[in-house]
Amino acid sequence: MSLPLESEEITRILEEWKNPMRKPRIAKVTVNIALGYGGERLVKAAKVLEEITGQKPVFRRAKRTIRAFGVRKGENIAVMVTLRREKAIEFLKKAFEAVGYRVKASSIDQYGNIAFGIEEHILIPGVKYDPEVGILGMDVIITIERPGHRIVRRKRARKQHIPLRHRVRPEETMVLLNEMFGVKFV
């Protein structure tokens, strides 16, 4: 394993995961292409995102007007798609291959979620360059949680609290992604 962790810590994490309620899992993967303006290029970006992920993307609107950038409130400026379960795993295999299975350790937040960018969509295996579309970059955000995290989102008794010991730590995210995909953290 090529992790910036000591072997004792890795074995401690793997020992802890023998309890099925402690082993983290990938809850969802969000893929986002933000252009900052709408129009025909944004529609082409949506087609590219649908081709890559196999799921229909959603257009995202500007939250406020920024005159310096020529953005009006309510204007479509980005497209995104949320992947879960097998679709998320299949997409992550391609996405990690596009970045060479290397991700910065600083891109993991305090709750174990990770975000990284793909500079050119043509780096993803199976995607060909189309001169009409050009080259688009995208953000990939992976949400990782343990079983039982549903109590935060459910309708009944929503005020329940998830203790810090049940949240995913950045070290656990590193071990999980290295175990599942062979990702190296630099």
Could you tell me the two tokens for 137? 């970059």
Position 84 scores a pLDDT of 93
Report the CATH number at residue 50: 3.30.1440.10
Position 1 scores a pLDDT of 45
Position 7 scores a pLDDT of 82
Position 113 scores a pLDDT of 92
Residue 148, domain member (yes or no): yes
Position 81 scores a pLDDT of 94
Position 54 scores a pLDDT of 87
Residue 13, domain member (yes or no): no
**Residue whose pair of structure tokens reads 């793997």 in the numeric block:** 14
Position 2 scores a pLDDT of 54
Residue 18, domain member (yes or no): no
pTM of the entire predicted model: 0.85
Residue 15, domain member (yes or no): no
Q: What residue ranges of the chain have pLDDT lower than 70?
A: 1-3, 71, 159
Domain span including residue 67: 25-185
**How many separate domains does the chain show?**
1
Residue 107, domain member (yes or no): yes
Position 142 scores a pLDDT of 94
Residue 73's nearest CA partner among 47, 41, 38, 35 is 38
Residue 31's nearest CA partner among 75, 76, 94, 73 is 94
Strands 184-185 and 102-103, by their bridges, are: parallel
Residue 20, domain member (yes or no): no
Residue 145, domain member (yes or no): yes
Residue 96, domain member (yes or no): yes
